Amino acid sequence: MVDNEILRMRPTEVAEASAQLDALAGRVEQLLHTEAPNLSVQTGARDEVSQRVANTLNGVHDAFGASLERGATEMRETAATLRSQADDVTKLDEGFAV
């Protein structure tokens, strides 16, 4: 009987995936930094509605930016975990060299 429930890991592919995650996090951070000035809303007039709209949109922008930063941090942490696990598998496999 063949056991298809075995987890198989190729450390080089995992390392490549973790590098891609790091690169994606970097692109997200770069995009956020580059576009931040374009996403800030200036009040169109002195009336209460214009000020409220600008404040609301800027608040959404700030919350979205914070969320993106947390997401980029999570991607980097996931990439670091993947690299660590791939290194552990490589070291374990070296111990079983025939």
Q: Which residues span the domain enclosing 76?
A: 63-97
Instruction: Provide the whole-model pTM.
Output: 0.77
In a domain, 72, yes or no: yes
CA 87 to chain centroid: 21
In a domain, 6, yes or no: no
Rounded to an integer, the average pLDDT of 29-34 is: 95
When divided into structural domains, the chain yields a total of: 1
In a domain, 3, yes or no: no
As a whole number of angstroms, the distance between CA 7 and CA 85 comes to: 13
3-class SS at 6? Answer: coil
Q: Which residues contact 39 (CB under 8 A, 6 or more apart)?
A: 61
In a domain, 85, yes or no: yes
pLDDT of 1 > 70? The answer is no
Given a contact cutoff of 8 angstroms between Cβ atoms, the answer to whether 21 and 73 are in contact is: no
Digit-coded pLDDT (tens) for 45-96 = 999 999 999 999 999 999 999 999 999 999 999 999 999 999 988 888 787 7
pLDDT of 97 > 80? The answer is no
In a domain, 7, yes or no: no
